[in-house]
Amino acid sequence: MEKANAWTTYEGKDLVKLTDLNEDYKEFLSNGKTERECVRQSVALAKKAGYKDLNEMIASKTPLKTGDKVYRVWMEKTIVLFQIGKEPLEAGLNILGAHIDSPRLDLKQNPLYEDTEMALLDTHYYGGVKKYQWVTLPMALHGVVVKKDGTKIELSIGEKEDEPVVGITDLLIHLSGKQMEKKASVVIEGEDLNVLIGSRPLKGEEKDAVKKQMLDLLKEEYNIEEEDFLSAEIEVVPAGKARDFGLDRSMVMSYGQDDRVCAYTSLVAMLNVEAPQRTSCCVLVDKEEIGSVGATGMHSKFFENTVAEILALSGDYNDLVLRRTLANSYMLSSDVSAAFDPNYPAVMEKKNSAYFGKGLVLNKYTGARGKSGSNDANPEFIAKLRKIFDEEGVAFQTAELGRVDIGGGGTIAYIPASYGMNVIDCGVAVLNMHAPWEITSKSDIYEVEKGYEAFLTHCK
Ligand SMILES: [Zn+2]
């Protein structure tokens, strides 16, 4: 059951491909810190690979045929791509599904205030975070502000070298006696995650002079007025680019690798596949970190509706065909797994843990307290995948998320599984998961991309 470290198996040409993939991946991460930014980049890459906007084909009732490549974006935060295969759609799709939302701090709707001549922004954290990790870091503001007339202002402040950063302060160690005695879950409390953005008062103002100066600046530089925060979606994220990690450059450190590491590799695999037997599909969704809810999460009917549109344009839509298409599909729920951390061996069970360098991770189940809430994949499906990965030379390992009863987690896997299709969690192992800076192994990223391509091409 011991697996070789994939690094020891590479020849020169593997290393060239591995490096190229990881360079492009880092670029994607550095330019994709929100769902919208990831969707925008995905559309650009898809268009370059010959994909067309499905909405235009729906509008013009253009029929779909074998070999056609289409994408559809929903509310700028979710994207799904299809390449029509040689087999009828009713035979099922091969689907890669990942999420492009990541833990962060969202601005509240009424965020801006002044306290003791400092301007601050109030936040509400998004997803599961250890709040104490998010203080004393350079942070950037990304997002969109929608004016009453519908015009949108795109924001990205704090990424370029000459742009200012913002951030959350922490108490100096000298006065932290009481704070240091607190439980880690309350050392920094949610309501105290306030982002410091300014300290310079407007001349001649008596009350809230720093806030007024800040409002002047927002108006001048970005055309934003205070009331515009009511219809804004601004995410406070770690500032800075993805970069190589480790003296041997064998790893990547970046914000947002859960789950953009699987989203990016799924997208690359999707765009690399040509003329598949079964129709290929790649769906990158929003809102996984808060339960896959909302119009852009996996629970949304967006995905099912889009498969219905694909069937309609292929001249084969009715409710029964739609249900059969979904039930006959195979899906890899491309999501991250916890990497074994030698600093914290106690939370892992060594035989069933994911390790850096051992390739793609299959998680038969996730969940907590007796697998509760997990999609427990079928061995028949796992057997198919084992065969494909072995035949295509893809390094893979199997794991579960920590020791029994230590904790747990979930993914989108159980949602498409409710159509009756075979789904399994399959992705990259991550260190520091949900921390501002997460770490992955470059060889795992390379193996996962290969594995996703092999799945789209050979799973039947
Ligand atoms: Zn996550």
Report CA(391)–ligand 1 centroid distance (Å).
31
d(CA 106, CA 77): 15
pLDDT digits (tens, 9 = 90+) for 372-389: 888 899 999 999 999 999
Report CA(99)–ligand 1 centroid distance (Å).
9
Report CA(222)–ligand 1 centroid distance (Å).
32
Report CA(182)–ligand 1 centroid distance (Å).
26
d(CA 349, CA 397): 14
Report CA(394)–ligand 1 centroid distance (Å).
24
Report CA(207)–ligand 1 centroid distance (Å).
43
Report CA(435)–ligand 1 centroid distance (Å).
10
pLDDT band at 366; cut points 50, 70, 90: confident
Report CA(389)–ligand 1 centroid distance (Å).
25
Report CA(159)–ligand 1 centroid distance (Å).
23
Report CA(259)–ligand 1 centroid distance (Å).
6
- Indicate whether 1 pLDDT > 90: no
Q: What is the pLDDT of residue 407?
A: 86
Report CA(300)–ligand 1 centroid distance (Å).
19
pTM, entire model: 0.97
Q: What is the mean pLDDT of the chain?
A: 97
Separation of CA 277 from chain center = 28
Report CA(289)–ligand 1 centroid distance (Å).
6
What's the chain's length in residues?
A: 460
Residue 147 phi, psi (nearest 5)? -75, 165
CB 95 within 8 A of CB 416: yes
Q: What is the pLDDT of residue 176?
A: 97
- Is the preceding peptide bond at 259 cis, omega within 30 degrees of 0? yes
- Indicate whether 239 pLDDT > 90: yes
Report CA(226)–ligand 1 centroid distance (Å).
32
Strands 330-333 and 422-427: parallel
Report CA(102)–ligand 1 centroid distance (Å).
7
Q: Is the dihedral of CA 297, 302, 307, 310 positive or negative?
A: negative
Report CA(25)–ligand 1 centroid distance (Å).
18
Residue 175 phi, psi (nearest 5)? -115, 20
Strands 139-146 and 232-238: antiparallel
Residues 260-281 have a mean pLDDT of 98
> Residue holding tokens 């084909």?
57
pLDDT band at 2; cut points 50, 70, 90: confident
d(CA 365, CA 319): 30
CB 331 within 8 A of CB 376: no
> Residue holding tokens 């989203």?
263
Report CA(101)–ligand 1 centroid distance (Å).
9
Report CA(103)–ligand 1 centroid distance (Å).
7
Report CA(194)–ligand 1 centroid distance (Å).
23
Report CA(47)–ligand 1 centroid distance (Å).
28
Q: What is the pLDDT of residue 3?
A: 84
195 CB contacts (<8 Å, ≥6 apart)? Answer: 105, 120, 121, 123, 139, 166, 167, 168, 236
pLDDT digits (tens, 9 = 90+) for 340-362: 999 999 999 999 999 999 999 99
Q: What percent of the chain has pLDDT over 70?
A: 100
Q: Is the dihedral of CA 375, 380, 381, 385 positive or negative?
A: positive
Q: What is the pLDDT of residue 317?
A: 96
Report CA(338)–ligand 1 centroid distance (Å).
10
Q: What is the pLDDT of residue 15?
A: 97
Q: What percent of the chain has pLDDT over 90?
A: 95
Separation of CA 146 from chain center = 24
Report CA(430)–ligand 1 centroid distance (Å).
10
d(CA 289, CA 300): 15
Report CA(311)–ligand 1 centroid distance (Å).
32
pLDDT digits (tens, 9 = 90+) for 403-456: 998 888 889 999 999 999 999 999 999 999 999 999 999 999 999 999 999 999
Q: What is the pLDDT of residue 24?
A: 98
> In terms of Cα–Cα distance, which of 368, 140, 331 is closest to 239?
140
Q: What is the pLDDT of residue 367?
A: 83
Report CA(140)–ligand 1 centroid distance (Å).
20
Report CA(278)–ligand 1 centroid distance (Å).
30
